[in-house]
Amino acid sequence: MAGWYEEEFNQKFRVAFRVERTLFSGQSEYQRVEILQSPQWGRVLVLDGMLMTSEVDEFFYHEMLVHPAMISLPQAAQNVLVIGGGDGGTIREVLKHSSVQKVTLVEIDGMVIDACKEHLPALGSSAWKDPRLDLQVGDGVAFVANAKAEHYDLVLLDGTDPVGPGEGLFGREFFANCKRILKAHGAFAMQSESPLLFEKVFFETQSVLSEIFERVQPYLGPVPLYGSGTWSWTWCAKQGDPLAIVDERAAAIEKGARYYNRGIHRGAFSIPNFIAERLKR
């Protein structure tokens, strides 16, 4: 495909970018998987017509999903679980932390992994060959339901929008199981959509998480590829504080980060009034 690619939001808003060529297009058991070459965004991963990530701006998303939780854990994470994230960007960031002994990646669609390894190799980089990686192709909801209690220091949900194969990743039972498999000091972090374009999903997710976890805090940052520009992630835990930055860990990560630093970390958790009022904070 060459020309212009468009994504439509709620039949009210569209974003578009020029495509030079299609590098990969396939229909898996779960979804249409495409990787497009764009002069603005480099190589772009699209799933079922929804923009997932690009070479040019992926670091905003992946660094903000991973590092705020990793750097604020009371004890440095050794055992990490990632649900989704078949492009490899999240595991790449997790494995930058020297404390990590094992990261398990559970991705439902093997086609996404294979296509990204071949056509988006920069995202996963050396993470795909790291001996600390345990790669599982399977259903993340089922994996979490069957995992041992209090087994992980950190669980990261790098899911798609809550439609199709990603729908169960926003369910109450899934969130409850994520809490169950966390160690007492552990944390759960997820991408939680745009509070502007996906207002209903964002606030409903905050409500459900608050019923399950003792501590829940959304945070914001830019993801230029996504339609609204502003995106959200949410940190959850049984105890702890996402602003309890461990400076030694943060300094080590800042050296190689393109977006994340301690100032960004603190600022991301400063919630705008229009969100704080709805959350009654």
CATH of the domain at 266: 3.40.50.150
152 and 136 in a common domain: yes
Quote the pLDDT of residue 168: 62
Question: Are residue 251 and residue 272 in the same domain, yes or no?
Answer: yes
Q: Are residues 39 and 84 in the same domain?
A: no
Give the domain extent around 9. Answer: 3-54
Radius of gyration for the alpha carbons in the chain, expressed in angstroms and rounded: 18
Residue 34's CATH number? 2.30.140.10
Task: Say whether both 197 and 168 belong to one domain.
Answer: yes
User: Mean pLDDT throughout 168-193?
Assistant: 94
Torsion of CA 265, 267, 269, 274, to 10 degrees: -150
- And the tokens for 44? 């772009």
Across the range 237-242, mean pLDDT stands at: 97
- pLDDT band at 40, cuts 50/70/90? very high
d(CA 57, CA 87): 13
143 and 269 part of one domain: yes
Count of structural domains within the chain: 2
Active site residue 158: yes
Pairing mode, strands 133-137 and 102-107: parallel
With CA atoms as reference, report the closest residue to 95 among 67, 61, 54.
Answer: 67
User: Which residues are CB-neighbours of 7 under 8 A, at least 6 positions away?
Assistant: 14, 15, 16, 49, 50, 51, 227
The residue behind tokens 């520009």 is 229
Active-site hit among 130, 158, 161, 247:
158
pTM: 0.95
Over residues 105-138, the pLDDT tens digits come to 999 999 999 999 999 999 999 999 999 999 999 9
15/152 same-domain check: no
pLDDT at 140 over 60: yes
Q: Is residue 239 predicted with pLDDT exceeding 70?
A: yes
